[in-house]
Amino acid sequence: MVVAFPVGLIGDGGLAIAPFAFGALAVAGGLVALVHVARMRFLLARNPWTVRPCRFGSVGGGNGQPTLVLWPPEPPSDSEQLGPAAVEPRGPYEAVMSVVSVVWRWGALEACDGATVWFVGSRRWGGVVAAPGTMELFWVRPLRIPPLRWFLARRVLDAGGQRNRR
């Protein structure tokens, strides 16, 4: 898309494109946000919330890498089986997720460190996490690279000690 301006009104016209470029970026960001909202609504409408024990921590400097370590949900009773547990081969946890959020929203998850969160989704595809008692929803994605996943889980668990499942 080429936009032409009279040279006499706005200099040589090179800086005149900047507002349109920023506008295009804002529109693209808004469209991405709408897609995320639609995905979140679809996921929340079709799946139940589960209560998961968790650990949360930021690994690294600066913004860090927000890491959420989830354990399988507690069974409702000892006699009721929920199916085979899909547990990581290197740890007692079920999944290591990366939180898709900005740093100033992490406070809700930091308050849940060592407690529980509400989770909708799967350990393979990620999902939505909510801190109990708040209206904050967070996208979480699984970490696909096993050495990175194990490193981040170890750093988060070492920061506050291992968490027992029960």
Q: What is the pLDDT of residues 24-57, one digit of tens each?
A: 889 998 998 898 889 889 988 988 888 888 888 8
pTM of the model: 0.69
Average of pLDDT values for 7-31? 73
Length of the chain: 166
Tokens of 60: 């690294």
* Side-chain half-sphere CA neighbours of 54 within 13 A: 30
Q: Give pLDDT, residue 164.
A: 43
Nearest to 104 by CA among 73, 66, 60: 66
Mean local confidence (pLDDT), 54-72: 77
Q: What is the pLDDT of residue 166?
A: 34
CA dihedral (148, 119, 46, 105) positive or negative: negative
- For residue 27, the one-letter residue type is V
**Whole-angstrom distance, CA of residue 144 vs CA of residue 146:** 6
DSSP 13: S
CA trace torsion 154, 97, 107, 29 (10° rounding): 140
- Is residue 55 within 8 A of residue 114, CB to CB? The reply is yes
Q: For residue 72, give both structure tokens.
A: 């399988």
Which amino acid is located at 50 in the chain? T
- Note whether 113 and 131 are within 8 A (CB): no
Pick the closest to residue 111 from 134, 141, 95, 142 (CA basis). Answer: 134
